[in-house]
Amino acid sequence: MSNRDRPLSPHLQIYRPQITSVLSILHRATGVALVAGLLALVYWLAAAAAGDAAFAAAQGFLASWIGRLLLLAWTFAVFFHLANGIRHLVWDMGRGFELKTVTASGWLVVAVSAVLTLLTWVAAYGLRGSGT
Amino acid sequence: MSASLRTALGRVRGLGSAGEGTAHWWAQRLTAIALVPLTLWFVISVVMLTGAGRGEVVGWLARPFNFGAMGLLVGAGIHHAQLGLQVVIEDYVHAEPVRVAGLMAMKFAAVLLALVAAVSLLSIFVRG
Ligand code: HEM
């Protein structure tokens, strides 16, 4: 079925990365990362339902350095996917396709997700001291 | 051009490579829109709950609003994720048997995950 000799459109090895293509694949990557985040959320809910020991184990893992690294990645992923998702929804309404606008909205998404990620972590540490 | 007895809607319904018309695309957008306020609510809530013990978390989750919002977040999130992963699998897995098996396993896992989430939330809501 797969025809190895078929013509391919120019792809990764032909075009250098641009803001459009990089953000496009980042939307997919963050979407998949958020699926893992959803698994972690359901695990956390199940642990909370199960009892003290299970919940303490879940919190312990999330507070470890690897847990915090994951949480940081998920924070950025959720803000990026959210902001870029809104960018997608605007495109779906047929707006914002001019090359200049696409570039500007792309950089805006990057800036917004970086700032919101930072604010979230400052707030989390600020509200609870160094956390547990 | 001979007049057809079929309506315009009847002719286009269910087209597309998967024969499911625009249903998938539309469901992906609807869940995306629902997830905008839900994820914002979730991030703010989790920040407020940083370092909280089980009693605090369970008490918070047992409040009707939070219980409902968490249920909607997980429900819309899993549906959206499952629709999204379907596209990713269809894009990258070309061998048909592997693709179909992968899609089935993924959809099955999504249902299972939703069940675990529902049972957990209900248990917290009812028993604390
Ligand atoms: C629970 C959190 C979420 C998860 C697990 C998730 C996951 C995914 C996945 C796996 C995809 C498929 C990516 C692809 O086909 O390349 C996707 C696509 C999409 N997501 Fe999300 N997502 C979440 C939240 C959101 C939110 C809050 C929005 C807000 C607008 C959103 C908007 C979109 C849109 C518009 C698409 C379609 C993009 C396209 O057509 O290529 N998602 N998501």
Q: Which one of B46, B54, B88 has the shortest CB-CB distance to A48? A: B54
pLDDT tens digits, one per residue of B47-79: 999 989 999 999 999 999 999 999 999 999 999
Q: To the nearest 10°, the Cα dihedral for A111, B76, B56, B44?
A: 20
A2 pLDDT higher than 80? no
Q: Is B78 in the pocket of ligand 1 (CB under 6 A)?
A: no
Q: State the Cα–Cα distance between residues B19 and B91, nearest whole angstrom.
A: 16
Tell me the nearest-neighbour CA distance from B17 into chain A, angstroms.
17
Closest A-chain CA to B46? A124
| CATH code of the domain made up of A17-123 | 1.20.1300.10
Q: In a mutagenesis test of the A interface, which of B50, B107, B111, B123 is the best target, namely the one with the most A β-carbons within 10 Å? A: B50
Do B42 and B48 contact (CB within 8 A), yes or no? no
Listed by start position, the domains of chain B span 27-127
Q: Is the pLDDT of residue A132 over 50?
A: no
What is the distance between the terminal CA atoms of chain B, rounded to a whole angstrom?
A: 68
Q: DSSP letters along A38-66, please? A: HHHHHHHHHHHHH-HHHHHHHHHHHHSHH
What are the domain boundaries of chain A?
A: 17-123
Judged against a pLDDT cut of 80, whether residue A95 lies above it is answered with yes
pLDDT digits (tens, 9 = 90+) for A15-33: 899 999 999 999 999 999 9
- How far B10 CA lies from chain A's nearest CA (Å)? 24
* In the block, residue with structure tokens 């048997």: B97
Chain segment A109-126, per-residue pLDDT in tens = 999 999 999 999 999 999
pLDDT at B3 over 80: no
* CATH level 3 topology of B27-127: 3 helical TM bundles of succinate and fumarate reductases (1.20.1300)
Mapped onto helix, strand or coil, the DSSP state of residue B79 is helix
Q: How far is CA B84 from the centre of its chain?
A: 9
How far, in Å, from the CA of A35 to the mean position of ligand 1?
A: 10
**What ipTM does this complex have?**
0.91
CB-nearest partner of A38 from B78, B94, B120: B78
**Nearest Cα residue to atom 33 of ligand 1:** A85
Beta carbons of B70 and B124 less than 8 angstroms apart: no
Asked whether B114 and B74 are in contact (CB, 8 A), the reply is yes
CA A92, A98, A99, A102 torsion: positive or negative? Answer: negative
Give the residue among B4, B13, B74, B119 at the shortest CA–CA distance from A47. B119
Residue pair B32/B80 in contact by the 8 Å Cβ criterion: yes
The answer to whether the CB of B43 is under 6 A from ligand 1 is no
Lookup: tokens for A79: 């803000």
